[in-house]
Structure 1
Amino acid sequence: MVPDVLPCYLLCDVSFSMSDHIDEVNAGMREFRGVVHADRRAAAQIRLCVVAFAESPLVVRPLQPALDPSEIIRPRQESGSDFGSAFTLVRTVIERDVHALKEQRLRVRRPMLFFVSDGRPTDPAWPAALARLTATASCPEMIAFGLGAVDQPTLGRIGTSRVFLGRDGVRLGNALASSVARTVLRAEHV
């Protein structure tokens, strides 16, 4: 039997406006790893990649098993949130990763992209980059998680599958776990 793999991507805004929320993001990633650890099937299937962005994006954790230790996300003292360059980079990364997984003869589920931000882009052309990402053959399921004083309409355009808001009392780790639950995790772990 060919193993299933669920590639998950955390695309996190680390600009100045998000600096008060980065500890919550790191705590959410630890909580998510704990949930995955509790389910052997999930631990074998879920891969996680982390991309941080402000004025430019950077892969801080390449796609690897979700249980592997994660780099701590750090805020940047940059005021810009260039959503467009972040979507462009993550599109390239997803396409490369999906291709590499298929070459390993793994059955790849539809990728999931968790977009974490206050939803305040500083680049006006970001919708075109988002459209290119969602038009690819490896189009991810798009889930947005808003922290701080969010721009809910913007997050709604990005999170076409779901939008979670920290101000509603939802923790990032729970949002990540509930999003993959339909695919991999057993209900008692969510």
Structure 2
Amino acid sequence: MKSEVLPCYLACDVSLSMADHIEELNAGLREFRGAVHADTAVAGRVLCSVIGFAETPQVVQPLFPMDDLTTMPAPGACAGTNFGPVFTFLRGVIEGDVRALQAHRLRVHRPMVFFLSDGQPTDPVTWPAAFASLTDPDWMCSPRMVTFGLGDADQEALARIGTFRSYLGRDGVRMGTALIASVMHVLSTSCPPAGRTLSGKEMPWRRTEGDRP
């Protein structure tokens, strides 16, 4: 593993409505993994975690180098697509992961979250507050957010969430291509901060070219 790493989190909607899109989702994950491994300079710097969510979120794959990337199982019977709980969950997971990486003396790029969904949030009143906490610029671990909408995804909601970039599959964009393009842009235009800790005294992340206001 390189001395600098980019933690990536794939937040995958696994609610019932995703049954028609699970093959597309898994194909995108395979394409993303293949593109990362095709570039040895990138492969050693990218770590990836997979989180599934419907009514509640869960870690499907912890943060590991991309030697392998799990596929998502067929969605269960849960029809709810709650965005708020996964944003709250991500904040805790990311903070713990960054702390562990820094304990190993690694320089950590600002994390990236890829939010992959076909649906509309079933918690429209409460999810914005959880999202604001996750993307708080005063929080050291605040991630870049990239959204990819499958099927008839709620374009307005995903545009609000995609603070870095936002894509829709119905526009002809391939998911794997969108993911690797975002990663390559970050690795080529930003440097991880040196000597950062989670002491609460850090300056917030600086925006770089490509970040949306």
TM over 0.5: yes
Aligned counterpart, 2:148: 145
Deviation at 1:71, TM superposition (A): 4.2
Structure 1 residue 119: deviation in Å? Answer: 4.4
The answer to whether residue 5 in structure 2 is matched with residue 5 in structure 1 is yes
Q: Taking every aligned residue pair, what percent have the same amino acid on both sides?
A: 55
Give the TM-score normalised by the residue count of structure 1: 0.92
Describe the superposition over 1:67-98 as per-residue Cα deviations: whole angstroms up to 9, x where unpaired. Answer: 22424343121110111111111110000001
Higher helix proportion, which one? 1
Quote the residue 2:55 is aligned against.
55
3-state SS in 1 of match to 2:80:
coil
**Secondary structure at the residue paired with 2:78?**
coil
Equivalences for residues 38-77 of structure 1 within 5 A = 38-77=38-77
Deviation at 1:164, TM superposition (A): 0.5
Deviation (angstroms), 1:36: 0.9
Equivalent residues of 1:41, 1:184 under 8 A apart: no
**Residue equivalent to 1:164:** 167
The amino acid of 1:49's aligned partner reads S
Compare CA radii of gyration and give the structure with the larger one.
Answer: 2
How many residues are aligned here?
184
Q: Give, in whole Å, the separation in 1 of the partners of 2:14 and 2:116.
A: 9
**Offset, 1:121:** 0.5
Residue 79 of structure 1 aligns to a residue in which SS? coil
Q: Which has the higher contact order (CA 8 A, sep 6+)?
A: 1
Distance 2:53 2:72 in 1: 14
TM-score calculated relative to the size of structure 2: 0.83
Alignment of 1:38-187 (within 5 A): 38-123=38-123, 124-135=125-136, 136-184=139-187
Q: Distance in 2 between matches of 1:30 and 1:50?
A: 13
CA RMSD of aligned residues (A): 1.3
Secondary structure of 2:64's aligned partner: strand
In structure 1, what residue type is equivalent to 2:127? W
SS at match of 1:78: coil
Secondary structure at 1:8's aligned position in 2? strand
Q: Which 5+ residue runs of structure 2 have no aligned equivalent?
A: 189-213
Residues 128-186 of structure 1: per-residue CA shift (max 9 Å, x gap): 0001101132010011100111211100110011111000111111111101011337x
1: CA distance, partners of 2:17 / 2:32: 24
